[in-house]
Amino acid sequence: HGITSLSEGAMPEDAQYMRMCISLAKKALGCTSPNPMVGCVIVKDGHIVGQGFHPKAGEPHAEVFALREAGTKAEGATAYVSLEPCNHYGRTPPCTQALIQARVGRVVVGMVDPNPIVASKGVATLRNSGIDVTVGVEEKLCQTMNEAYIHRILTGKPFITMRFSMSLDGGMLDDLGDGAAEEGGYYSKMLQQYDGVIVSDQTLYDNLNLLSSEAGAKQPLRIVVTRTLVLPIDSLIFNTDLAPTLVLADEKAIVDNLQSAGKLNGQTMDMLLRQRGVEVVILKKLEIDSVLDICSQRGLCSVFIDSRGLASAGLENFIGKQALEEEAVQKLVIAICPMISGNKRTELNFDIPPAKLNRLRTKLSKDVAVVEGYFPRDFN
Ligand code: AOF
Ligand code: ZN
């Protein structure tokens, strides 16, 4: 762990309990959207007397579970919460009132809630009732955990992460050679964390089901973007109903769709898809804005764009390139594959005009929340 500056009034043991709150909160990883993940620990005389986390939207908040467990021991205790306790009647009553009624002596808050209906009013209410409040313990960790929630609350737009594969010599790889190499491990954890995953139709040929294999994972909405509606109907994604699938096609694709009827016993591709429970939406223009509008309409707070197959999908009009150009990407995740692509590589060159590219480079290094690299497990 890095050095964390002690926020005003913090005690030496606070950071440790706050990290415990974060671990508890993450038990609901991927399950709380549109709500944040929140954990709470109640400590009395050096002993943990109550613990809780927010399991999903509509269910009680973290503080409520922890207070229930603590019972009368909460009196005079310290409550640690990774997010500022709420002060409003939402789907559940205000946590500030629950903490005040339980007569806790001190509250330690990881981060202020950016939600305008809370935004420091929770802290003010607690202080006004005579409770000692410390704010900002392990703040960075708390913010990173809820980066998607923070972004969505502040901008009204979904948090976008884009992933692509890169060789050691900086080439963009079309795929991992063996798509299955990414099942389980990092990729599976990514799928668990996002409300939606966007792939190009080229990815369908890798025959992944795009489901997280994490225990109890809430599966993402699987979104396939296509310009042609010439799709491999037998691919896994169209034949697993463990998560919904949405195909977003360009209006131009209607021509392919009608032509395909000849080859598909009189049925068009959209008919075949709908028979398999796949939703098909034809967009006037398949571009990043219209795709993200659909994501917002569906209430997705976080979306993961997988740029696998980016090169063969055509760099000049691929959604992932547009997302970068339009500065819609908040986070890049780069799979660094232990191989040299040599002269077969696709350069990380998006054909963006130099002036714009320079601005984008600065933007990416300054504003993109985290750039993570990882080595795919089992790569061969
Ligand atoms: C907390 N503890 O565990 C969570 C909080 O609709 P509701 O009633 O669930 O309220 C949702 C809002 O409450 C959410 O947008 C955020 O501001 C806050 N979430 N607050 O004190 C919790 N999940
Ligand atoms: Zn609450």
pLDDT tens readout for residues 268-311: 888 999 999 999 999 998 888 999 999 999 999 999 998 765 55
Give the environment of ion ligand 2: residues with CB less than 5 A: 61, 86, 95
pLDDT confidence tier of residue 256, bands split at 50, 70 and 90:
confident
Structure tokens at 356: 């714009």
Tell me whether residue 279 is one of the annotated catalytic residues: no
376 has pLDDT over 60? no
pLDDT mean across residues, the chain? 84
Lowest mean pLDDT among 111-125, 179-193, 266-280: 179-193
SS3 118: coil
Q: Virtual CA dihedral for 276, 221, 206, 165, nearest 10 degrees?
A: 170
The structure's pTM equals: 0.86
Residue 186 confidence class, pLDDT cut points 50, 70, 90 = confident
Once rounded to an integer, what is the mean pLDDT over residues 97-123? Answer: 95
Place of tokens 């709470």: 40
Q: Looking at per-residue confidence, does 202 or 348 come out higher?
A: 202
The Cα–Cα gap between 124 and 115 comes to: 15
pLDDT tens figures, 215-238: 889 999 999 998 888 889 999 999
Task: Give yes or no for residue 36 CB within 6 A of ligand 1.
Answer: yes
In this structure, are residues 143 and 84 in contact, taking their beta carbons and an 8 Å threshold?
Answer: no
Alpha carbons 45 and 300: distance in angstroms, whole number = 42
Beta bridge pairs of residue 117: none
Helix (H, G, I), strand (E, B) or coil at 80: strand
CA of 122 to the centre of ligand 2 (A): 9
The residue contributing the CA closest to ligand 1 atom 9 is: 91
pLDDT of 198 reads 93
Query: Which residue has tokens 């009368």?
Result: 72
Judged by phi (left if over 0) then psi (alpha if -120 to 50, else beta), residue 27 lies in alpha
Spacing, Cα 120 to ligand 2 middle (Å): 13
92: confidence class by pLDDT, cuts 50, 70, 90: confident
Q: Is any atom of ligand 1 closer than 6 Å to the C-beta of 150?
A: no
User: Which atom of ligand 1 sits closest to the CA of residue 94?
Assistant: 21
CA atoms of 323 and 225, how far apart (whole Å): 13
**The pLDDT of residue 373 is above 80:** no
Is residue 358 predicted with pLDDT exceeding 70? no
Report whether residue 14 contacts ligand 1, using a CB cutoff of 6 Å: no
Q: What's the confidence (pLDDT) of residue 58?
A: 92
- pLDDT band (50, 70, 90) for residue 29: very high
Cα(282)–Cα(251) distance, rounded to whole angstroms?
6
Whole-number Å distance, alpha carbon 242 to ligand 1 midpoint, is 28
Beta carbons of 208 and 308 less than 8 angstroms apart:
no
**Among 8, 13, 59, 63, the one annotated catalytic:** 63
Query: Is the pLDDT at 351 greater than 60, yes or no?
Result: no
Residue 282 tokens read as 């034809």
Band (pLDDT 50/70/90 cuts) for residue 361 is: low
**pLDDT tens-place string over residues 135-149:** 999 999 999 999 999
Both tokens of 183, joined, read: 């099942």
353 neighbors 315 (Cβ within 8 angstroms): no
Atom of ligand 1 nearest to the CA of 58: 9
Question: Residue 262: is its pLDDT beyond 70?
Answer: no
86 lines ligand 1 (CB under 6 A): yes
If you search the block for the tokens 């690299």, which residue do you land on?
373
Amino acid (1-letter code) at residue 21: C
Count helices and strands (H / E) in the chain: 12, 15
pLDDT at 293: 93
How far does the centroid of ligand 2 lie from the alpha carbon of residue 37, in Å? 11
105 in ligand 1 pocket by Cβ < 6 Å?
Answer: no
What is residue 307's predicted lDDT score, i.e. its pLDDT?
77
How far is the C-alpha of 348 from the C-alpha of 355, rounded, in Å?
17
Tell me the percentage of the chain whose pLDDT exceeds 70. 80
